Homo-oligomer: A and B are copies of this chain.
């Protein structure tokens, strides 16, 4: 059997939900929302999430333990991600800035370590929240 190059039923169900959402979803909120579709246990959701993250269809917002659909066609895999997060309304946006990604992908320090992946989270107040 070949390694799967398509989405399984559970993965598709979870992805559909995450893509419909304008904001990051928590795993147990996903679970609650897909129970009508037959996914009963946390593990079914986490397995789907793991795979979707691995192939870059979704990303995990580490500081929030939440998941968003990738809005960036470059993200074949989740190995170079950057997000802006509003600390007031929790709105999250994936940053798609080629200068930034180039800068970070080429970043080297004197540790002798070669980085193959990074995740960057910016925090602040979004336009709306700033004007309140």
Q: Is the CB of A107 within 8 A of B100?
A: yes
Contact B97 A84 (CB under 8 A): no
Q: Is the CB of B114 within 8 A of A125?
A: yes
- Report the minimal beta-carbon distance from A61 to chain B, rounded to whole angstroms: 9
Cβ-defined contact, B111 with A93, below 8 A: yes
Residue A126 at the chain B interface, CB threshold 8 Å:
yes
In this complex, the interface size class of chain A, counting residues with CB under 8 Å from chain B, is: 20 to 34
Distance in angstroms between the alpha carbons of A62 and B118 in the assembled complex: 12
A9 an interface residue at 8 Å Cβ cutoff? no
Interface residues of A in 89-118 (CB under 8 A from B): 93, 95, 97, 100, 103-104, 107, 109, 111-118
Q: Which of B62, B117, B123 contacts A124 (CB 8 A)?
A: B117
A115 touches B62 (CB 8 A): no
Determine the chain B residues whose CB is within 8 A of the CB of A63 once the complex forms. 62, 119
Q: For the complex, what is the distance from the CA of A21 to the CA of B128, rounded to whole Å?
A: 42
Q: Does A121 contact B (CB under 8 A)?
A: yes
The answer to the question of A28 belonging to the interface, with a C-beta cut-off of 8 Å to chain B, is no
State whether the Cβ of A127 lies closer than 8 Å to any Cβ in chain B. yes
